[in-house]
Structure 1
């Protein structure tokens, strides 16, 4: 019996109607036998900056350049480089969240990770009021969050996203935004397919006034590796606040929106000083991304093609989302907070009979039926939940849902009070 992989943290990579077919062969010039620069090759960094300027920053005076981009070998490498540049601060993150955040934050001992649990009653929503309260109450210097959100499938957009940038500036708090699912948005009518979400749209030019501006301070070398920290200082200038001054850092890549997870080509976008720090950190971490694949990525970053790709993805994955939600309802599994984004469903199991009302046991029983429902498990307070991915092809989802249905029929539901 074939397995249905509901734990797949990546989209299907085959042909999708309306999407550009990905290259099956790439040129490998002799020059690419050499190491690429630690922050990535300049043409790719320039193309990434142009993508953001075209999609999100048209008619804005402040524009991203290649110096605002650091190319990294995967999203985790991007998170690690950011972590290496963070000093002794309190770092906030929200549960449920992408598990790599907790894993990364537990490795770097120089800052204090502080989780905040989001509630189902509020649709696991991160709103400006919550952010402001957490910054003030817990003294957060950095906040790490995915948007759109893994695993709950929610999204912060529009005025709320704009308000978050304002709070970050006013409270002198760096926002690190994981935007890997920015093209997987279903909160709009289908005729608006192609719309994407990024906080970079709201990194604005502001009036000249005295503000605290983030810069990177390289600490003295020790017997081990150099360390880096963010520092904030008062700044007064006739130059407007811009992309090089706002405390906004974005992580994204080819993994999800371009459906090329195996290429491990991702990037971090932020102020030049932050990128410079991450370049230094990368020299003693992973050393940089694959040189030939950086060259191969260049044709993929055309903004107009990206919009077409996003529109096709939204049509295709919205249909898969709707199918999985419909089948889960038929099985008796009600999704209380349906996803508006990503390709994940955050499913509450507490109405099922013991022992499958706990994610780990549910997973073990599903393995016997061969639908592998997830790859990572969240600890309490999320142990009654599983993350189901509708990233795989539809035939695989159908096969997996049949297996889940057999497990549910075998154990049943708790009696209603």
Structure 2
């Protein structure tokens, strides 16, 4: 070992140094910085609703600020009243009956995902990770000592993996399979039959399933959300559900998520959180309580807007030669293939990768998008349509103009 890489010389640990920055947040930060500098940048990077948090939720938080009860430490695992409400909400929305003792309230979905993996993975355990995947998944797996094993789906299957693909990736070290529907970054939604087949396959082989249900209410057309432990009851003793208020209630900045799982795993994850962060902000928890206890009227209004934007962005992207964009059925992302544009000349440059193409788009069209390399699949772009209708049309019009200039 050279002196430069010896433990005494290493300034950042190898474990933390190996973690990459969130690509989606990096793109969003760059777009906001350019906009602050006066450039008319339109950002399709962050998965963040452009709507304000509904007023009744904000008022609940304001009242909590004035209540001395919430000025002090509360249980690390979450306010008891919020955990009870999450259990009721889960039964209402998913048909999955759980006890409050099976719930841990976390600082957003990201903490829930990491703590779930940390609670069940030992060093070297493998996690089957369908790709395209959200950027945080592989980093959380590695940070918890696990090994992500990617299984790639493309536009020909609507970005959905099959049981056959999952089985081909299974080894004696496989411990967990990740299941996400609706999906970030593709918007893919699995049918109940396909979801059930994956759940039953996991049960057959004694595997854990971590399922991320953060986009449960954002499905369109004939697509339907199904909760895996609700439709495969045999899975419940080895299933962890991750969810939160961020996407459904336009509460990304409030940082409240949760995980649901077997009591021993939830207790272990709660112990971890008690040392890492202790309780989630009480004010944010009270806001989340108002959100999950209330009706879904505001959610329905936002979903209607997202559906309209979904149809617009897909139509406009598919009007560009060399771009192929399947229609997403959920979440608020479009994930077009741009493989046919790579290597073509656009304003004197020949981008060879989606990373280079995204950089060109930002420089020449002042539009921020995230390259597919961030999600494990080169040759694609992710665009969030959780932005205003006018900005969406203007941004995609700029793309049409720029990419329409591509030539061999």
**Would you call these one fold, judging by a TM-score over 0.5?**
yes
Match of 2:186 among 152, 159, 176: 152
Change (3 A) 1:153 1:121: same
Quote the Cα distance in structure 1 between the aligned partners of 2:257 and 2:309: 26
Choose the corresponding residue for 1:79, options 106, 113, 118.
113
Q: Does residue 393 of structure 1 match 2:382?
A: no
> Following the alignment from structure 1 to structure 2, what is the Cα–Cα distance between the partners of residues 84 and 274?
10
Q: 1:206-217 maps to which residues of 2 (within 5 A)?
A: none
Q: Among 267, 289, 306, which residue is 1:276 paired with? A: 267
Whole-angstrom distance in 2 between the partners of 1:255 and 1:379: 21
| Cross-structure match for 1:290 | 281
Aligned residue runs from structure 1 range 401-412, under 5 A: 401-410=396-405, 412=406
For structure 2, the residue ranges without an aligned partner over 5 or more in a row are 1-38
2:317 matches 1:328? yes
User: Matched residue of 1:10: which SS?
Assistant: coil
* Alpha-carbon shift at residue 403 of structure 1 (Å): 2.3
Q: Which moved more, 1:326-335 or 1:96-105?
A: 326-335
Question: How many residues are aligned here?
Answer: 359
Q: 2:254 and 2:401 mapped to 1: Cα distance? A: 37
**Coordinate RMSD, CA, aligned:** 2.5
- Structure 1 unaligned regions, length at least 5: 190-194, 205-240
Describe the shift of the 1:329–1:320 C-alpha distance in structure 2 as closer, same or farther (beyond 3 A). Answer: same
Q: Which residue of 2 aligns with 1:174?
A: 208
Q: Give the match's secondary structure for 2:190.
A: coil
User: Is 1:107 matched with 2:143?
Assistant: yes
CA distance in 1 between partners of 2:281 and 2:41 (Å) = 32
Paired with 2:101 and 2:210, the residues of 1 have a C-alpha distance of 18
Cα deviation 1:70-118 (Å, max 9, x = unaligned): 1000111111111211232221112211011122223233x32221222
CA shift, 1:376, in A, is 6.3
1:66 and 2:95 are equivalent in the alignment: no
Which has the larger share of helix?
Answer: 2
CA distance in 2, matches of 1:403, 1:272: 51
CA–CA distance in structure 1, aligned partners of residues 150 and 235 of structure 2 = 30
Higher mean alpha-carbon deviation, 98-107 vs 326-335, is at: 326-335
Aligned to 1:52: 90
Distance between the aligned counterparts of 2:329 and 2:371, measured in 1?
21
Of the three residues 189, 192, 195, the one matched with 1:161 is 195
**The residue matched to 1:37 in structure 2 has which SS?**
coil
Aligned match for 2:329, one of 340, 343, 347? 340
1:374 to 2:369 alignment: yes
2:19 corresponding residue in structure 1:
none
- Alpha carbons of structure 1 residues 203 and 272: separation in structure 2 relative to 1, 3 Å: farther
Partner of 2:130: 94
What TM-score comes out, normalization by structure 2 length?
Answer: 0.80
Q: Give the drift of 1:5.
A: 0.8
Q: For the residues of structure 2 that align with 1:350 and 1:160, how far apart are their CA atoms?
A: 28
Q: 1:34-91 CA distances to partner (integer Å, 9 max, x unpaired)?
A: 1232211110011001011122327xxxx31111111000111111111211232221
| Cα distance in 1 for residues equivalent to 2:98 and 2:264 | 13
* Matching residue of 2:6: none
Q: Please say which of residues 77-86 and 113-122 is displaced more in the overlay.
A: 113-122
Offset of residue 407 of structure 1: 2.1
Specify which structure has the bigger relative contact order, considering alpha-carbon pairs within 8 angstroms and separated by 6 or more residues. Answer: 1
Q: Which residue of 2 aligns with 1:141?
A: 175
